[in-house]
Each structure stands twice: as C-alpha cells, then as structure tokens.
Structure 1
Amino acid sequence: MERRSFLKMSAALSAAATVSGCNSSSKDADVVPPQPPVGEEKVNWSSCLVNCGSNCPIKVFSRDGVITRVETDHEVEDVYGLHQVRACARGRSLRQRTYAPDRLKRPMKRVGERGDAAGFVPISWEEAVSTIAQKLKEAYAVSPKSVFRSYGSGAYYGFASNANFNRLFNLCGGYLNAYGNYSWAQQMEAAKHTFGTGSTMGSATATLDYSDFFLGIAYNPNEIRQSGSGEGYDFVQALKRNTRLKKMVMIDPRYTDSMLGKEDMWLPIRPGTDAAFAEAVAYVMISSTNWFNSKSKPFIDKYCFGFDYDSVVAQKAELIALADKDTSGKSEHLREYSEALNPEENYRDYILGQGIYSIQRTPEWAEKITGIAADTIKEIADELMGAKAPYIVVGAGVNRQANGEQSMRALYMLSVLTGKLGIEGASNGELPRMTGMGRAGIPTGDNPVKESISFFTWSEAINHGETMTARTHGVRGTDGLDAPLGANIKFIFSASDSSLLNQHAEINNTAQILRDAQDLFVVSCDCWMTPGAKFADIILPDTSWLESNDLVDNSYAAGSLGYLTAMSAAVEPMWECKSMYEIAALIADEMGVGNEFRGEHVTEEAWLDYLYKETVKMTANNGVQPAFPATYKEAQQIGVFRKDMLNRHVALQDFVNDPVGNKLATPTGKIEIASSELAWRAKYWTQEDVTGVKGDTITAIPQYTVTWDGYEDKDTATDYPLQLATYHTKGRTHSSYHNVPWLREAVEDALWMNQVDADEKGLSSGDMVEVYNERGSIEVPVKITPRVAPNVVALGQGAWYLADAKGRTGATGKVIDVGGAVNTLTRYQPSPVAKGNPQLTIRVQIRKA
C-alpha cells in the first residue's frame, strides 16, 4: 500500500469514528467501514538504543510498509539467567516515536535566527553535504582543533552510529576530542584517585545476595535501569535470593521507586551534604578504638596510603622509591607528587579534629548539616562495623553536584574503613561492574589531534579555546601546564546529542553563546526537531531505529545477562532520511576521502556482515542461546541471542588477595586515602576558590566542602531558599522520548513538594508555579507528596526547553521556559578536578503562576 493510500485510509477511519460516536441513530450504511491493510503481517527485530544502559530488543510488526504495533521480548521461558529482556514503557512506545509529528524529513538549512524552529528551509542532500564540506575545510584551515564532535549519547547504536563521524574526521585531519561525560565525570576522577579504577568497578549487583547490610546513597536502579534485564532487575532478584540481609538503608532526598517497601530505613538527606554524613559515620568508626584497631586498621595498614601522619610519610617515601626505579620516563611527576603531599593533611586527624584541624566530624556536627539525626548516624556506623559483608553503593547523582569529586571520595571511604573489601557480598561504593557479550564496531582510526577538553567546557571553548590551558581548564595533551589549546571551536558536529542545548547547563546563557557566535558553524544530525537542532545551521535527518539494520549488544548496564540483537529494518527509510553511515560517506566524498571511509566493505550490508562475523569470533559460542548462524542475514531472522555471563565480580578482590601481584592503577599501587596526584593538582592548578567561587577546591584527602548554592551557602539562601533535587524519570532517558505523548501522560512532569512547604506558599496539587533563580524561570505544575524532604523540591530532568511563545518574562526578567527544562536553572561552573558538570546543585524560589 502506498503511503498516500495509508493516510487516506487513516482519515477514513477517523471519520468513521466521528460519525459513530456523534450520531448513535445513524444507520449502518451511513458508517464508513474500516479498511485495514491487506498484506501479510511482517515481523522484524529491532532495539531501543536509548542511553539507559540496556538496549532492549523490540519486536516490530508491520503491514505494507507501515508499523502496526510493537512488542517486547517473550521468546524464551522467563527463568533468571537466560530470562526475557522486557522493554520498559519507553521501548514499547517506539511506534509513536518513529511516527512523531516532529520527525525530521529532509535536510534543512537555517535562514532565520538560531533557536527558531520556523527559521529553516528544505535543501537537497547535495547542497547539504557540499555546504558542510566547505565549512569543514574552512575550519581545518584554522586548525583541526577548531572542529569539535560532541559525543552524543542519544543513540547507542552498533554500526550505524555517530562513530562514523569520528572515522570521517580522523580521515580528514582529526578533531578536538572531549574526555568525561555528563553522567560520571566527577566520580570517575574520585575513583581514579582512590582505587585507580573508572567508577563502575563495584561488586556485581548479583553478589548482593551474599550481603548482610546494604547502604545505598542516591541509588535508584528501578527507575534508572528499569528494563527486564537491567541493573534494577538484578537488584530485585538478588534481594529475593538473599537470606542474610539484616538491614537495608537508602539515603536520598526523594523516596524513590527503588525503595517502595524494600528498605528498612529511608533517610531524606539534604542535597549536597552526603560528604558530611560520610565523615560523621567515619568519626564513629575511627573513635570505636577496640573495633577500629582490630578490624579496620590492619586492612588500612596493608592496603592503603594516606590514613594518618605516618602513612603519608611512608607514601612520600614510596613515591620517591618508585621514581628512582623508573627508567622509562613515564613517572616524571612522582617526585612532584611526593613533594606536594603534606603529612599534616591526613584523613585521621581531619576526621577527629586533631593536628591542624579544629572541627570534630561528629554525628552531632553532621546532624545540623544533613538533617539526619545523630543517633541514626551512629546506628548506621554500628551496622557497618558489625556487618560481615556490607554492600555500599553510591549513585551517580552525588557526583553531579558542586565539588562532587569530594563527595564521592568521602563516601568511598566508608567501604575502606569497614575493612571488608574483596569479600563476596561487600562492595567499595562504586557503581556495579557490568559485563556483556560485546560486538565489533566500525573502526574509527587514530585522531591526529592529541589535545582534548572536558566534555562540559565546549561552550566556553567557542570563544576562549585559544587561551584554555591544563592549569586553568584541565586541557589534556598540551605541552605543559600553561601551553594554550590555541584554537577556538569553529565547527560543531552534533549527532544524537542534546547537550548542544537541552542537557547542558544554564540554557539561557548557552543559547546566547550560540546566537552570538557568528563565525561558528553547527551541524545537527538527528531524527527530531530537538531544542538543540533549532540552533544548527544545517540539519540532517537520521533514520530511526525501526528503519535500521544493525548489530547491537546489551550496552553498559544490562545486568548479568549478555545479549545481541541482529536488527532488521521494519520499514524502509522514510522521506529523505539517511543512516549515519550513509551521511558520513556522502561528506567523505565531498572531502575527497570517500574510498578510504568506505573501506574494502563499501556498503552497509557488507559492513554488517563483516562486523557480525568479527563479533562471532570475539564472542565464544559456548553458552550462547541460540547458537550464532553463519551469516548476518540468518542472524536477522532469529533476532536475539543471549548468554548468562555468570557475573559475580567482587570489587578489589584480586588486589586484596595479592596486593603485590595485582597493584592498583594509583601512583603507589595501593588505595590512596590521600591522593598524591590531587595534592599535586591542588598545588599547581588554578583553583576557582581563589576567585571567590565557594567550595571549588582541590585537596589531597576527601573533605566535605561548603559549596556555592549548597545547603550552607548563606549568600543565596535568602533569595532562593529551596534546594532543587533533579532525578531521572521513567518517562524519559535524559531528554530522549520527551516528544512521545503516551509517556508524558504516564509520567507527569511535575514539581514534587512537601506539604510543609506547600502550606507555607498556599499551594495545592495541580497549581502551576514559576520556579526561578538568577539564571532563569520555568513553569510547571506542583505535586504535593510526602516523598520529598521539607525545604527540598524535586523535578525530573530532561524536559525539552520551550520559550514562552508570547515572550512572557519571569521574576528575574528572563523569558519563561514553559517546557520545564531544569537546565534553565542550572549553573555552568566546571568542577575543580574533572571540570565536569555540577548540575544537581540548584537553589530556587517558587511563586504561583
């Protein structure tokens, strides 16, 4: 059936419904009978590739080139280990998302002001790629460092991914790369400088079944990882198996769906005060002399550096010895690290208020800051000391706060102090390690540009990239601390990426930077007219997942089950949409590197068959059900392949069993309570507190700091008395899926407020309110609930920014965002170590709209 015929049929069906519903006395002959498609129903396997970490397989039904319905996986008996991978509501809404009214249908160029969705006109693919190639060459004439490829996590494809553009740019001369990400930037630095790991090497969730005490801080897998094979599913299954668990404590400003009766204790902590809580627990543990000397100190003495004065002295000597042994030149900074360490700055004295420190980090001290009663803090410390296998896990929300590096390091210390690391059922506070079957991806080649900036500082690099350095902005790959990056960003390629506006901090300021940058050229490749796409110069329409052939794995947080999906397009690419591979190949042709880009495989079909065979080689058939067939086309007919990965990873187990043979990737090879590298950075990097930015400091040991816009920031508390906690909703992954009405109905975008605060402001559920601070205003409805702490309000992140059509301004004079994007209110202030995003530190005021 032709599309025009289908649309006519749809209109006829709508008319029939109208006649039947409005005139019950009409004769049957007056009603237009439904005329369904007459072709055979076709079934294809696709996948939901949104950045939740699961890549759930999706079963797509279609007739005559039209998707009729979507189902989830129910192909096998649902027995844990090789269970069904059931998609959440987001994956099940893919038909609505694919046919969304705001689908991009053809290439477009901007003729109006940046940010105006109506300011675009359609152009041909020839004009689009020709213009892009011309602007790309102009940027290369300035410097390859003027070309920026924002990393884009809106689609976790296999082959037809934004990795194609990395391959393209590497062939053309390279591009300015970015390190870190909006999710984990600060915790990656915290874990690196404590354990020498990347922050996702905690004990597998499945090992929770051996734990006798669980402490979760900002841990919410049942909403964030909610698929039928995600971390949330492993979490629930492990709790069901556990017969040892005595107590489960969850700490969060908001009562989440990961609690719902599973917890024994919910502690609604004030946002940004997690480090103070950790220090008070540590005080009790260290002060319990008999327990500490017999249980904790032996572990610390054997596996750690930097706990007390003598330990820092020994750490300095170890660094000098390592420097003396090194002949490769790779350890050039070890002597400087040693010199930067000060034994008087040690963790024990800091916690107990001894030596150079005057404050004892007691539970009574922490109670005034965190809102958690001192007796409760003591109780948790007692539970940790008495537990044989305490499982501690810290969610990523803590690291997205002002100086989140410090908060994460402070919380990681609790696992160290227990002395129980390396034991099944215990964990070190990091996010759980996940495994998967893996898959081969298109090779991207080497990037000739060695410099990289933090992912978060791209908006600053548009105007100030020339002068950014390692000392001031954490630029990597330069020759020395003060060597400038040397180029401003002139060309941005944004693919599957909402950080161009919506997910970046301080939206109003970011929008102004993009509007004012007249010599900046922006390309957006996406499927929908996102808030960021409105700021592009050229928009390229990508194919949706249901129009794609691909090979995808289970992504990075799918729990203990590994799986691969051989995707096959349910419908042909619609309108003038093209895959990212095709788009990159067209640009490559214009840049004169088309043959090199396509390589020996040339077509998508040939590439996929090659990558499938490479995947089969790297993925042992043992345990894969069903076994892999010979070709990719045969695999597409089967669809889903799964394997029980038997993931029982225990954090730091190898190191604890053999600390000499399995040294950690820290400078000393041990757990560093006092980080020698951070001591060096504190000495040599420019710290923002020098310019009056409260709390943006670097220290060798974990320390609670009073930060800007935090609970103890009295400078902003008067004007903006409420702390705003943001969270991931079940109706979106970041900003993906916001344009699906089904999900907006199912998961309301409302501001959660405690009854105490609502009464003070005279508000009721459903009232529209303006939430504002000096950075902007948003307008959202209120939901009164006991599931959020007093003096704290909560709002799901990821709603799409939408300036009021009438230009209404809010309390601070800025146009009101009626879309409710929380990043209208967040602050651009790169964190001190990671130069990452502190977007969960927000103070606001509220008034009835």
Structure 2
Amino acid sequence: MLMSGWGMQRAHHGEQTHWALVTLACMIGQIGLPGGGFGLSYHYSNGGSPTATAPVVCGINLGNVSQGGAEWLMQGSENNFPLARIADALLNPGKSIQHNGKTITYTDIDFIYWAGGNPLVHHQDTNTFLKAWQKPRTIVVNEIYWTPTARHADIVMPITTSYERNDISMSGDYSNLHIVPMKQLVEKQFGAVDDYKVFCDLVKAFGVYDKFSENKSEMQWLEEFYNQALTQSKGLLLELPDFAKFWEANEPLQFEIPVESEAFVRYADFREDPILNPLGTDSGLIEIYSQTIEKYEYKDCPAHPTWLEPIEWLGMKDKPAEFALITSHPALRLHSQLANTSLRKEYAIGDKEPIWINPKDAQAKGIKTGDIVSVSNQRGEVLAGAFVTDAIKPGVVRLCEGAWYDPQEPGKVGSICKNGSPNVLTLDMPTSALANGNIAHTGLVNIKKYEGSLEPISVFTPPKGA
C-alpha cells in the first residue's frame, strides 16, 4: 500500500512524483485489492476513513446562476488564475500562461479584497511578492490579528474569531462523521464584526443588499443550512432533530458508518470490470501515458512520469548555494495560524523559528543547538535558531513554513527577516504548465552562524495606532 501526502508535489516538476507513485502501484499489481494499491492525503481531514451515511451541511454560495438571480456575482470569474501565480499576475498584467491545456491571460488587478488567508507569509519568494503587493491601488483584508498581510493592507476589517460568532460545521471532509453546532462563547471583542456583517454593509452601498443577503439574519442562514441537511436525511432514513432542538442541545450529531463503507476497497469495482466501472480519465483507465497531456506539448510535463532536473538541487552543477531547504508543515501550528500564540514558546529557539541541521554539517559550520544562524540565498536572508539533530540528513536543512515575516528594516524590500520566514528563500515559479502549483520544497540555501546585532521580534506587537 503506497500512501502519499501533498508535500512531494510541492517541488519543481512535483506532478511527476505522484504520477510515478501510481505507476509503481500498477507495476506491483495490487490496485483494487484489500490493503493494496495507493492512496493520497490520508493525513488530512479523516482521509482514508470510512464514510458515514450522513447528509451534508451546505453553505452560502453563488446561487443558481442557471436560473437567474446571481449573474451579478459571477462577473469577473473568467479572469481566474492559479493561486500560486498571484505575484506573477500582479507584476505582469496582460501576460499569458499555459495551465492544464488552456491559455490564461492575466488581467490588470487594481483592487484586492482578501478574506481568509495570509499571502504575505504563504506565498513563495517574499521579496518579489512585496514588489507585486505594491502594484494594486487598494488592498482590503478581513483579519482577526495583525498578520504580516494585514500590516501591508490599506484597509483592515476587524473580524470575529469562531469564539465570537455562531456557525455550523461538519467534521471530517472525507468521513462526514458529525454535524457540529458552533455556538458563540464570548461577546464580540474590540469592535470586531462577523464577515457576513461586513459584506452586508458593503453590498448596501452597491444597492444589492436584498440579492446578497436575501434579507436573512445569521441564525436564519444557519437554520437554512441545517434544514437542507435535514431534507437530505429523509432520503437516507435518518431521524434528525429539528434545528431548534439541535441548537438547544449544543452537541454534535454523530452518524453511523455502514458495513459497506467499512469494507470499501478503492478501485475494487474497476479491477473487477473496467468496462462497466470506468475511471474519470479520457480512456476510463489508469493512464500511465496520457494522450491528452501529450497534445499540450509541455516541455516541463511529458505524457508519462519522468524524472526532470529541478531548477535547484544538490546534484546540480555550479550550485548557487550549499544546502537543500525543506519547508515542511510545523507540528504546533497550522501554516501561519497560531504562530502568534503561546505555543510559540514550545518550539522557538532564541525567539526565532528553529532550523534543523545535521550534526556533521553543524560541526563543519561551527554551529550548535541554540545558536542564531543566517540562512540565505540570492532571493533573501532570514535569521533562525539552530537545532542540531540526526533527524535531518546531511546536506539538508528544515525550516517550517508559516513563520510570520518580520523584516529587520520595515518597508524595505530585501530586508533580513529576523523571525525566520522560509518563503523569503523559496522560488516563485510553477511546478509545471500543467498544474502551476508552488515549489516550496525546491531551493538551495547557505547557512552560517550569525555574528551581527539582534533586534527583538516585533511582528507580534500591534502596529502604532492599532
């Protein structure tokens, strides 16, 4: 059984790794057999778990555009582009790129409204991104905290946390195991308001409040979402309480896992009869060779899994730096979320993001655990706290993604990040023209003991006037 996460794909030509994994599973011959074959994303949201017989809670969407009433919300959707290309799009309006067999032309972006995200931390090559972020005339951000992105916005809408508002959710994107009431626990703090309230206030100014809100309150929306699930449950012969009882009980509804789900084997039906149970590919089969991708004629993505030399790697000639940088997910936060909490005390070294280095490399560089080190390449420089460990192989260092960008010289593109944000060092180029994903695990860096003066971390202190 071959199981992969997502990290392997986040590298130059990263699509090839997963394609090769499926090919290897085909060669082994156990696809469609119990305990064999391959699986993806078992690390995430109950991936790989049996799926319960459960209704699905809906949410606010764009409405039924096929029957009218929401066309006004759809304007501009033809200008979509891959998220990992945001800096490229901002810097190069009018540029055309290839994406999954299509040509996409960047529009000229003059106004950004960003709700739910921290792009100044999650996007690669921070210094290039900072230049791109100056291109729009106005940037508005919905935010709970003074993240680096909020600090680089023109307008910040103060948004409630999940403790300050009512909501409804499901647990397990794959398992559908629960429907969960999320009751407000505390009063809204420091003038914060819900996203829904912000958007309702904005659409009033544009004269489309009735269309957007349908004149429903927060609780009316939540009841509608629940009632949609309630309607589905009748077809499943499930006995669910009405919304009032569900909300009053304030307990998750848990659904049964049927025997069929417990015994489910992925691709078993396909293996039994591939004619009657085709897959979602053009041929209906597992495609080790794709005639569709062949037609794209992409130089960076052939029609079958292939090893292609990355833009930077340890085996290249004339290496621009010495060590391979891995920017894996941290254990005690989710991307950049929780980076500003007391959990930081559990992992920070010298009040900075820790960087793992092998003992042999550390000895050669005169580095020991607890030292502050400079990590740099042609894209930028960060400061980090050294952690010497056999858990990382020689020639490789590990600096987790999500550390908040904290420039030593605020407002200066190219400043040292004194908190160790790894995307100051990563490359902003796509995996290939097929997927245009990020390549945050591809890149080389130098590391040395830092001898300069140390400024205190300031990114967790609200800016003046806040």
Hey, what does 2:461 align to over in structure 1? Answer: none
Partners of 1:620 and 1:554 in 2: CA distance: 21
Contact 1:423–1:650 at 8 Å: present in 2 too?
Answer: yes
Task: Report what 2:26 is aligned to.
Answer: 416
The residue aligned with 2:69 is none
> What SS class does the counterpart of residue 581 from structure 1 fall into?
helix
| Residue of structure 2 equivalent to 1:643 | 255
After superposition, residues 454-473 of structure 1 pair within 5 angstroms as 454-468=82-96, 472-473=97-98
Tell me if the contact between 1:800 and 1:819 (Cα under 8 Å) persists in the aligned partners: yes
- CA shift for structure 1 position 607: 1.3
**Which amino acid counterpart does residue 489 of structure 1 have in structure 2?**
I
Letter in 1 for 2:314: Y
* Rg (Cα) greater in structure: 1
Q: 1:740 matched to which residue of 2?
A: 341
Flag the 1:429–1:552 CA change in 2: closer, same or farther, 3 A: closer
* Count of equivalent residues: 424
Partner of 1:602: 216
CA pair 547-418 structure 1, distance change in 2 beyond 3 A: same
Classify 1:636/1:782 alpha carbon distance in 2 versus 1 (closer, same or farther; 3 Å): farther
User: SS state of the match for residue 114, structure 2?
Assistant: strand
Describe the shift of the 1:634–1:675 C-alpha distance in structure 2 as closer, same or farther (beyond 3 A). closer
Aligned equivalent of 2:303, options 693, 697, 700: 700
2 CA distance for matches of 1:561 and 1:443?
Answer: 20
Correspondences of 1:630-709 after superposition (within 5 Å):
630-632=242-244, 634-646=246-258, 647-648=261-262, 649-682=264-297, 685=298, 687=299, 697-709=300-312
Aligned partner of residue 513 in structure 1, secondary structure? helix
Contact 2:92 2:106 in 1 (8 A): no
Residue 443 of structure 1: how far off its partner (Å): 2.9
Q: Deviations over 1:261-285 (max 9, x none)?
A: xxxxxxxxxxxxxxxxxxxxxxxxx
User: Does the 8 A contact of 2:409 with 2:416 survive in 1?
Assistant: no
Q: Flag the 1:487–1:726 CA change in 2: closer, same or farther, 3 A.
A: closer
From 136, 155, 159, the counterpart of 1:542: 159
CA separation in 1, counterparts of 2:410 and 2:277? 63
Does the Cα contact within 8 Å between 1:675 and 1:700 map onto a contact in 2? Answer: yes
The answer to whether the 8 Å contact 2:383/2:417 transfers is yes
Give the secondary-structure state (helix, strand or coil) at the position aligned to 2:38.
coil
Give the partner amino acid of 1:575. Answer: F
Q: Cα deviations across residues 471-527 of structure 1 (Å, max 9, x unaligned)? A: x33288x7xx4xx6362112211111112x110000111012212x1x432110010
Partners of 1:755 and 1:632 in 2: how far apart? 60
Distance 1:486 1:513, change over 3 A: closer
Can you list the C-alpha shifts for 1:339-394, whole angstroms capped at 9, x where unaligned? xxxxxxxxxxxxxxxxxxxxxxxxxxxxxxxxxxxxxxxxxxxxxxxxxxxx1111
Aligned to 2:414: 814
Instruction: Give the C-alpha shift of residue 734 in structure 1.
Output: 0.7
* Residues 145-294 of structure 1 aligned to structure 2 (within 5 Å): none
CA distance, structure 2, for counterparts of residue 755 and residue 788 of structure 1: 9
**CA distance in 2: counterparts of 1:526 and 1:715, whole angstroms:** 44
Equivalences for 1:320-331 in 2 at 5 Å? none
Partners in 1 of 2:324 and 2:256 — Cα distance?
A: 43
Say whether the 8 Å CA contact 1:628–1:635 is kept in structure 2: no
C-alpha displacement of 1:555: 4.2
- Give the SS at the match of 2:156: strand
Is 1:834 aligned to 2:441, yes or no?
A: no
Distance 2:10 2:113 in 1: 25
Provide the aligned C-alpha RMSD in A.
2.3
Q: What SS is found at the alignment partner of 2:171?
A: coil
Question: Letter of the aligned partner of 1:747 in structure 2?
Answer: Y
Q: Report the counterpart of residue 108 of structure 2 in structure 1.
A: 488
Partner of 1:614: 228
Instruction: Give runs of aligned pairs for residues 26-175 of structure 1, distance below 5 A.
Output: none
TM-score (norm 1): 0.48
What are the Cα deviations for residues 621-642 of structure 1, in whole angstroms up to 9, with x where unaligned?
A: 9798xx6321246424332121
- More helix per residue: 1
CA contact (8 A) 1:621 1:628 kept: no
- Aligned-residue sequence identity (percent) comes to 27
SS of match in other structure, 1:672: coil
Secondary structure of the structure 1 residue equivalent to 2:270: helix
> Unmatched 5+ residue regions in structure 2?
66-73, 451-466
Amino acid at match of 2:437: G
- Equivalence for 1:84: none
In 2: Cα distance, 1:486 partner to 1:509 partner: 17
Q: Distance in 1 between matches of 2:100 and 2:24?
A: 32
- Aligned residue type for 2:89: A
Give structure 1 stretches of 5+ with no counterpart.
1-390, 688-696
Match of 1:795 in 2: 399
Q: Which residue of 1 aligns with 2:123?
A: 504
For residues 643 and 634 of structure 1, do their structure 2 counterparts lie closer, same or farther at Cα, with a shift above 3 Å needed? closer
Which residue does the alignment assign to 1:773? 377
Deviations 1:23-46 (A, max 9, x none): xxxxxxxxxxxxxxxxxxxxxxxx
